[in-house]
Amino acid sequence: MKKERFLLWMLASIFTYQAGIFAFGLYKCSQFDASTIKQVCPEIGKRYDNTFNVAIATVLALLTGSALKE
């Protein structure tokens, strides 16, 4: 039970950190004018998605693997 709880906390912390980074990125990109946004902040959604896919997939795989052993 302790391992599953730890992994769930890790998953929650990844989602929280991910939301914070995305909000900060959107805030910083909103400070530029419309002509420079495409140069300074290209495809922020794609970067956001690529950055955390591996971390979330790893935690979910560990969580599933620990549940199957029982």
Q: What is the pLDDT of residues 9-51, one digit of tens each?
A: 888 888 888 889 888 888 888 887 777 777 767 777 677 777 7
> Is pTM beyond 0.75 here?
no
- For residue 53, give the nearest of 8, 12, 14 by alpha carbon: 14
DSSP string, 13-49: HHHHHHHHHHHHHHHHHHTS-HHHHHHHSTTHHHHHH
Number of structural domains (the chain) is: 1
The CA radius of gyration of the chain, in Å to the nearest whole number, is 17
- Provide the residue range defining the domain that includes 11: 2-69
Model confidence over 37-46: pLDDT tens digits? Answer: 777 677 776 7
